[in-house]
Amino acid sequence: MGIAILLGGFLLLIVIKIPIAIALTMSSVFTAMYLGIPLPAVAQRMVNGVNKVALLAVPFFIFAGQLMAAGGISKRLVDFSRVFVGRLRGGLAMVNVLASMFFGGMSGSSVADTSSIGAMLIPVMKQDGYRADYATSVTISSSIQGIIIPPSHNMIIYALAAGTNISVGMMFLGGVIPGVLLGTMMMIFCYIYAIRRNHPKGEPMGLVQSLRIIRDSITGLLTPVIIVGGVITGIFTATESAAIACVWAFLISFFVYREIPLKDFILILKRTFKTLVIVLPVIAAASAFAFLIAYLRVPRMVTAALLGISSNRYVVMLILNLILLGLGCIMDMAPLILICAPIMLPVAVGIGIHPVHFGIIMIMNLAIGLLTPPVGVTLFVGSTVGEVPIERLARANMPFYLLTIVVLLLITYIPPLVMWLPTLVMN
Radius of gyration, CA atoms only, the chain: 22
**74 and 45 in contact (C-beta within 8 Å)?**
no
**What residue type is assigned to position 78 of the chain?**
V
**What residue type is assigned to position 255 of the chain?**
F
- What is the value of pTM for the model shown? 0.83
**425 and 150 in contact (C-beta within 8 Å)?**
no
Q: Distance between CA 390 and CA 417 in Å, rounded?
A: 33
Backbone angles phi, psi at 62, to 5 degrees: -65, -45
Q: What is the pLDDT along the chain (427 residues), one digit of tens a residue?
A: 777 888 888 888 877 878 878 888 888 888 888 888 888 888 888 888 777 776 777 788 778 777 777 777 777 777 777 777 767 887 888 888 888 887 766 666 677 777 777 777 888 788 878 888 898 998 889 888 888 888 777 888 888 888 767 888 888 889 999 999 999 999 999 989 888 888 777 777 777 887 887 787 777 777 777 777 777 777 777 778 778 888 888 888 888 877 778 788 888 888 888 777 777 787 788 888 878 877 787 777 777 777 778 778 888 899 899 888 888 877 778 788 888 888 888 888 888 899 999 999 999 998 898 888 766 778 888 888 888 888 888 888 899 999 999 999 999 999 999 999 998 887 6
Q: Distance between CA 5 and CA 307 in Å, rounded?
A: 25
Show the CA angle centred on residue 382, arms to residues 377 and 388, nearest 5°. 125
Provide CB contacts within 8 A for 135, sequence distance 6+: 93, 96, 121, 122, 125, 126, 386
Split into its structural domains, the chain has a count of 1
Q: Distance between CA 44 and CA 46 in Å, rounded?
A: 5
Which residue segment(s) compose the domain that 264 sits in?
Answer: 2-426
| Cα dihedral 84/88/93/96 (nearest 10) | 10
Show the CA angle centred on residue 69, arms to residues 380 and 280, nearest 5°. 70
